[in-house]
Amino acid sequence: MIFIAGATGFVGRHLLEALKKSGRQVRCLVRTPDKGERVRALGFEAVPGEISDAVAMRNALEGVETVVHLVGIIEEKKGATFQAIHVHGTETLVREAQGAEVGHFIYQSALGADAHSRFAYLRTKGEAEAIVADSGMPYTIFKPSLIIGPKDGFTERMKQLLSVGPVVPVPGDGKARFQPLYIDDWVRCFQQCLEPEFPRNRTFELGGPEQLSYNEILRELMAVLGMDKPIVHMPMGLTRLSLPFMGVVQSLAAALGREVPAVTGELLSLLSVDNICALDSVERVFGFSPMRFSDALRKFLP
């Protein structure tokens, strides 16, 4: 039995489709009844609860051999902080998995995660990695760069940004590099790590076959969407000064039938640093070459 926390998120939904084809038994943690219905429609078990609820986790993990922890947030909101979700949630899930004598714990972290990072998102992800690695359970940790695919959060934000006006505003110089990985390729990697012969107690950095700057990502996205707008670079300091007014801007845009992607200081900071790993990170370990960014975009964008 495989237990998945975060099964109804972007990555989780694609993983469920693959696991359905493989015929594996799966139990999913869900927060709302409608998400439970979606899981059951695929033929899987759905149990209500939160990873920070020890009692719910104890009951949900009965008879489970493998735990998959996909829960994470990129933006803090009221009642959902990086510390609460990434650290305390992981502590609870790991503790209950230990009690259930789980044989394999798989954690989805993030490329760049480090317990000493100056960024709260990456720091708490790094702290969660340490909790998993020190648990005494056989584990696998994935640290991917951007994962892209149908309705992924990053591409949806970029599409909103491209649709707002006659130019594309970019905070800073847009030279920070990323390594987009297509979701189907991530799933292929994940399925391999489920096999009994796959090595345990390993951490894998994952990225696509190209290191693209933020500017290049925007240009490739515009090319696939048939758009041609100039990119205008905005001073990072000026962008930060405008953050308190973003709520007003989003409200005005909504009144005009437009969406402006949410921006936080943390997200701005993450856009200004490289998020890359070895170009052969997937091929070297998993034996195949992942899809290039533009080819992946053409598979899932109209």
> In order along the chain (302 residues), what is the average pLDDT of each group of 10 residues?
94 94 92 90 92 91 96 86 95 96 97 94 96 97 95 88 83 90 97 94 97 95 94 69 41 43 62 91 96 96 83
pLDDT of residue 282: 97
CATH number (3.40.50.720, 1.20.1250.20, 3.20.10.10, 3.30.1300.10) of 2-144 reads 3.40.50.720
Report yes or no: 9 and 68 within 8 Å, Cβ to Cβ: no
pLDDT of residue 79: 78
Q: How many angstroms from the chain centroid is the CA of residue 63?
A: 27
pLDDT of residue 270: 75
The radius of gyration computed from the CA coordinates of the chain, to the nearest angstrom, equals 20
* CA 135/CA 7 separation, integer angstroms: 22
pLDDT of residue 164: 77
Instruction: Let me know if 14 is exposed, middle or buried by CB neighbors in 10 A (0-12, 13-18, 19+).
Output: buried
